[in-house]
Chains A and B, each alone.
Chain A
Amino acid sequence: MIKVPTLAQLTAEGKTPEILFWVGCAGSFDERAKKITKAFVKLLHNTGVSYAVLGAEESCTGDPAKRSGNEFIFQMQAVTNIEVLNGYGIKKIVTACPHCFNTLKNEYPELGGSYEVVHHTQLLKELLDDGKLTIESGTYKGKKITFHDPCYLGRANNVYEAPRELIKKLDAELVEMKNCKAKGLCCGAGGAQMFKEPENGSKDINIERTEQALEVKPDIVAAGCPFCNTMLTDGIKSKEKESEVPVMDIAELIANAKDL
């Protein structure tokens, strides 16, 4: 078990971490997403990044409330979080959730919270480029991996390459779905759909996306968002392929490859 430093502890010790790991609600509470959180934390330790989490001082960014139309709850959450973040003098934030990433990066500055915000795949790519992260193991050598672009990472913020370059570093064969990058198809969870039943239609969106993923016959479906992960995992279960095609976060793939 890894000891995860909190900002409160480090501050009490007079230390200032370089980067705040914003875990997010899914990363904190969702059983599946917690595994992603742990994989990423292992990588942070492995690469010697100076980081901390907020722990009990973290709260929802307000994203699902904002996408539902409740600006009140969103802005209340935002100003409360900003008070905490500014109180600690946070400069840089990393998160494994594209929704937190987008909200912190694009919607907080106007409300008084300006930070350098990166997605965990961007940080991992950075560490790789700096030589701090090495991926040499052949766990995924030759495996066909397809990457599902999270809307809030891809279209919303034009981050397409960092996750792909990491997959290529695994010596895996990156295969693209019919809809990818700027034309990527949503998993169906965005805009607070995660928390409600879908409206009436002929099909669920995650099934449509799962079919696109399975079309390219991947060994693994890679994701970069805890919500996409849930939606695609459910989709693959409904196709009874869960034993053949796992849905894994990029952080998990790398942590596995490094045998962490």
Chain B
Amino acid sequence: MDILPNMLFVIILLISINIFTRNILKIKNNINLGRSIDRSDNKSARWKNMARIALGQSKMVSRPIAGILHVVVYIGFLIINIELLEIVVDGIFGTHRVFAPFLGSAYNVLIATFEIFAFLVLSAVLVFWARRNIIRLNRFRKSEMKGWPKLDADLILYFEIVLMSLFLTMNGADFYIQTNFPTATDYHQAGSFPISQFMTSIFDGMALNSVILVERSAWWMHIIGIFIFLNYLYYSKHLHILLAFPNTYFANLNAKGGFANNPTVTAEVKLMMDPDADPYSVSEATSDEPEKFGASDVMDLNRVQLLNAYTCTECGRCTSECPANQTGKLLSPRKIMMDTRDRLTEVGNNIQENKGVFVPDGKQLYNDYITAEELWACTSCNACVQACPIDIDPLSIIMSMRQYLVMEESAAPADLNNMMGNIENNGAPWPFNQQDRLNWAEDP
């Protein structure tokens, strides 16, 4: 028996796993550039959150059309992965439909299910494509979606169309051989083909070798296509298929309105309020460089914020719910996530090119990617956080960056400086005397 194809398969498999692993490690390293944050609490609630939101897609269906179509593609993706297992085993050992003898009639059910889902996925993906390219939904046409993000989104859909078509072609050819060429012993009777049986007419009149060639080509192109797609993830917005799980696990489970108290400030305030504290002795004991207040670059953000950035798949639900964006302001929560990810990739590449050290490139997240105008447009209403189907929190990044603007750069709008001055001086955002706080009770 010719083992050349098997060897070739194993080599391709190993190469693709290798590249994939390296890219995942790169992502891990980049995320670890962020400040650490403790999300080790509440494990059972975290697993539940992941099960409900990532596995159970509970937030997807708040928009029923996109939601249901997505659920179809998602279940299809999960189910067809079982078939992938058989394809890999067949590839390594040179077998054909190796699971069939073990599963008996259950195999027929399995293959039939794969076929139906392949067809459903294909249909859903065509609708997705139409929503982006024919209906041209507003949220897919925002300014941050020009160029690569648009192409990236379309490429993913093309990948899926091609992969599903190849899968069905491979099955159709297989079924044709099984029914018309009983002498082709490699193609034993296995599987039930509710969808691809309708394709068999295209093989009518073809010689056995030609049909085998079609079947083999489709088989190889399908599996190689999957390996390419797997490695395309790193370069695309599509990582959510993996990262949605850790992202929902590490998500903020507390009330959305409670913003984290900046621990650097807490330490300083404690010091100021403590009459026994000796400010000079403490400053020596702490690290040489005082920690920056807030975030001007990706390293100042925390790891969950960075994980959020890699997880975003640019669906734009956040932006379409954002009151600032709806009223024509520059702010788009999706762009906040995309900018954070792009800057993080840039910083990560810089470190890799410079053998593990970041060489300042004269850029940062603030201003080179996200401008003050965007940050000041936010009403902190949490609509973006609520809208995200996988618990990404653009608002926390906006708040971290506002902290940098105000506490490091003193760059708040003048009106806000007045307001903050009032709070400091008289305990209210307006210039009223604290002693007059009960005057309302005296009013007639």
Contact = CB atoms under 8 A, between A and B. Distances in A.
A191 B427 contact: no
Nearest to A27: B440
Interface in B78-96: none
A1 B428 CA distance: 25
Interface stretch (B16-24, B118-126, B376-384): B376-384
A55 B437 contact: yes
Interface residues of B, number: 70
Contacts of A38: 440, 443
Contacts of A155: 256-257, 381-383, 385-386
A215 interface: no
A70 B424 CA distance: 11
Contacts of B293: 71
Interface in A48-78: 53-56, 58-60, 62, 64-73, 75-77
B258 A107 contact: yes
Nearest to A107: B258
B326 interface: yes
Given A62-B423, A191-B380, A195-B419, A102 B261 contact: no
Contact of B261 (A25, A41, A110): A110
B323 A208 contact: yes
B259 A107 contact: yes
- Of B259, B272, B321, most buried by chain A (CB within 10 Å of CB) is B259
A106 B254 contact: yes
A33 to B, nearest CB: 9
Contacts of B67: none
A37 B437 contact: no
B405 to A, nearest CB: 6
Contacts of A41: 441
A71 B292 CA distance: 13
Given A151-B381, A205-B327, A75 B258 contact: no
B262 interface: yes
Contacts of A79: 269, 273
Nearest to B402: A69
A75 B415 CA distance: 21
B290 interface: no
Given A28-B428, A68-B406, A205-B327, A152 B269 contact: no
Contact of B324 (A4, A27, A54, A201): A201
B350 to A, nearest CB: 27
Interface in B413-444: 413, 415-416, 418-420, 423-424, 427-430, 432, 434-444
B421 to A, nearest CB: 9
Nearest to B437: A28
A56 B438 contact: yes
B206 interface: no
B8 to A, nearest CB: 53
B255 to A, nearest CB: 5
Interface string A159-193: 00000000000000000000000110110111111
B106 interface: no
A70 B327 contact: no
B441 A69 contact: no
A156 B256 contact: yes
A76 B430 CA distance: 18
Contacts of B399: 67, 69
Given A155-B386, A190-B381, A205 B269 contact: no
Contacts of A72: 265, 268-269, 407
Nearest to B409: A69
Interface in A1-15: 1-4, 6
Interface in B336-391: 373, 376-383, 385-386
A197 B414 CA distance: 10
Nearest to B257: A156
A52 B435 CA distance: 17
Contacts of B33: none
A198 B428 CA distance: 21
A106 B385 CA distance: 17
Contacts of A238: none
A106 B258 contact: yes
A75 B402 contact: no
Interface residues of A, number: 74
A34 B438 CA distance: 10
Contacts of B258: 102, 105-107, 156
Given A155-B386, A195-B429, A188 B323 contact: yes
B302 interface: no
B266 A59 contact: no
A188 B323 CA distance: 8
B269 A56 contact: no
A60 B437 CA distance: 11
B419 A157 contact: no
A60 B428 contact: yes
Contact of A71 (B257, B407, B441): B407
A243 interface: no
Contacts of B420: 64-65, 68, 70, 73
Nearest to A193: B379
Contacts of B403: 69-71
Contacts of B330: 199-201
B48 interface: no
B294 to A, nearest CB: 6
A205 B257 contact: no
A183 B321 contact: yes
A64 B419 contact: yes
A128 to B, nearest CB: 24
Nearest to B269: A75
Contact of B329 (A71, A106, A195, A198): A198
Given A1-B441, A29-B437, A111-B266, 10 more contacts: A25-B428, A29-B440, A41-B441, A64-B420, A69-B294, A71-B403, A77-B427, A110-B261, A183-B62, A196-B416
26 contacts: A6-B438, A28-B428, A28-B439, A29-B440, A34-B440, A38-B440, A41-B441, A53-B438, A60-B423, A60-B429, A64-B419, A64-B420, A66-B259, A68-B412, A69-B406, A69-B412, A72-B407, A73-B424, A79-B273, A156-B255, A185-B383, A192-B416, A196-B416, A198-B377, A202-B327, A202-B328
Interface of A: 1-4, 6, 23, 25, 27-30, 34, 37-38, 41, 53-56, 58-60, 62, 64-73, 75-77, 79, 102, 105-107, 110-111, 151-152, 155-158, 182-183, 185-186, 188-205, 207-209
